Amino acid sequence: MKTVKITFADGTSDIVCTASVAQDRIAVRYGVAAHTLVSDDSGDRELIWLDEERAENDDGAHAVAEIRPA
């Protein structure tokens, strides 16, 4: 299993889990359904936004979390 580190926009980065549950943990933290999250995986990191509107043409400034290999 691939282990990842989630870093939230507020700087919290102590959550380490498997990649298969990372988005679920992000969704729970922000009180949204996991299927509504928008992600962009650039290979070295995956950025997560709460919705398409915030993700559109964004360089990561409005992302709520980042997922990287641990």
pLDDT score recorded for residue 9: 95
- Number of domains the chain is built from: 1
- Tokens representing 15 are 């959550």
pLDDT value of position 51: 93
Residue range of the domain that includes 29: 3-69
Helices (H), the chain: 19-30, 52-55
Amino acid 5: pLDDT: 94
The one-digit pLDDT tens for each residue of the chain (70 residues) are 688 999 999 999 977 888 778 999 999 999 999 999 999 998 899 999 999 999 999 999 999 999 999 8
